[in-house]
Structure 1
């Protein structure tokens, strides 16, 4: 940012950083959008961090917009963020002390008045700071009776080192706060995180089942309303049933959703739910993957958890003698294709 002098009605602004107000306005807008998104996704710590940064951006926006230092031939005009502008005649000023941490005007009655410029800040580099000091020195009237002294101690100069350290401190603080918020919210467990293990949606079970068992002459049962979707507190299930004269096949995907950082992650919720399911037949190896197997007199069920999705394949037989020999092969074929569809 570079300083500028705005001349209006014989008054000239000292130390204004070009682009600071629109820059902070854009930053504030971005942080407010981030706050809304974090709130919508249940990211409590990131929402808090975004709110704090938005408050700081708002303060800097107000400060740059209202904290103005303007000069005229008769007075020094000091704008304040939350108060009215104050005009101090030059002959009331004894000394102006320039310091990067905050310049002051010492009045003849002993009052110390903080000045918004010259001042070292993130949008005002060393060259701009020096230009502001030079502009203020040139604005002081030359009349002996009205001329205040200008003191600029070397220790208070806005050097490149101090400017770089200020930016480094800000970057470190934001990095530490962001790391803390990310560790608490673990957004990488959410389905929308790129490359995460959780899925936001499952494939259409009817499309998967029809492609997998196309040679069996199956039809959807019933013809309308497939696939069917049901919701629970922690997951959404989509199921499709296909049948022919001798058997019925059912494929169900249970997708455990992201419920915010205060709740269990989708993968943890699916693991806990799947772990409570009772089963007795043990594991069935299907193309190198272990599936849970449950046998009943008229049905064969295979189930498997992949991330935050539980896949269930059921084959029901209408034959009085129970499941035919090809039942496990047909159910296994559907199970393999149903699991592979999650990676598409």
Structure 2
């Protein structure tokens, strides 16, 4: 009877099959959203609590007394509360209503329908881009014997502590807009179109922390963009901006 009782006491509070995926998800989430040092401390304490929880009540090595549990829980709460004013998680892309984008859509998928009209003889699109701690850029391009079309998304990721992602996107947009003889467009938060002759056209727009850049070039000897095609180019800009999802 006592052995059966001890065996029950050795059962873990949480099944390992549940605790391990939770730990993996927490670590992935921390890396993905670039958390601060204080948040890492809080996550480390959470991991310690989970690890002790899966050891089982009956093992002396894994046993956590009430005082230890309360101390660990208090440390976690303190770490989380201390980092809130710094990181403002309610402005993170994963927080509903934050207004920030955490990723950008596939430009090839977004522009496929309009590219078939603007560059009808183009072969398979060419993709490119790069990613670092400050920028995530994705590009897709189409080319035939008459025209060259590019759609580029440039994301300025949320940085956590002292975030400046929207300000960085605004600055990148303003740097191009400042030197352009352009027409202002009512697309996204701000947008403009440069190139009135219909042969070298740039449409740039911004939504929150994402800058959308569309370039259409008529190659040597090609006819400029017609009125209907100009409408397709504007609709492409509208669709590209609308495809950006924010929290």
TM superposition score normalised by structure 1: 0.51
Q: 1:205 aligns with which of 86, 107, 113?
A: 107
1:127 maps to which residue?
none
Going from structure 1 to structure 2, the CA distance change for 1:301 and 1:247 (only over 3 Å counts) comes to same
Take 2:9 and 2:147, find their aligned partners in 1: how far apart are those partners? 72
Question: Residue 312 of structure 1: CA displacement?
Answer: 1.0
Counterparts in 2 of 1:1-344, with a 5 A limit? 7=2, 22-23=12-13, 32-33=23-24, 36-37=27-28, 39-41=30-32, 42-43=34-35, 44-55=37-48, 65-66=59-60, 121=66, 174-193=76-95, 196-216=98-118, 218-220=120-122, 223-224=123-124, 226-233=125-132, 234-243=134-143, 246-258=146-158, 261=160, 264=163, 266-277=165-176, 278-286=178-186, 290-295=190-195, 298-318=199-219, 323-324=224-225, 326=227, 328-343=230-245
Residue 32 of structure 1 contacts residue 50 of structure 1 at CA under 8 Å; is this kept in 2?
A: no
**For this pair of structures, how many residues does the alignment match?**
235
Question: Residue 183 of structure 1: CA displacement?
Answer: 3.9
Question: Residue 235 of structure 1: CA displacement?
Answer: 2.3
Mark the structure with the bigger radius of gyration: 1
Residue 169 of structure 2 contacts residue 208 of structure 2 at CA under 8 Å; is this kept in 1?
A: yes
Question: Residue 33 of structure 1: CA displacement?
Answer: 4.0
More strand by share: 1
More helix by share: 2
Take 2:51 and 2:208, find their aligned partners in 1: how far apart are those partners? 41
TM superposition score normalised by structure 2: 0.66
Q: Mind listing any 5+ residue stretches in structure 1 that lack a counterpart?
A: 1-5, 68-80, 82-115, 124-165
CA-to-partner distance for each residue in 1:301-324, whole Å, 9 max, x for gaps?
110111232111122234669855
Take 2:2 and 2:142, find their aligned partners in 1: how far apart are those partners? 80
Residue 28 of structure 1 contacts residue 54 of structure 1 at CA under 8 Å; is this kept in 2?
A: no
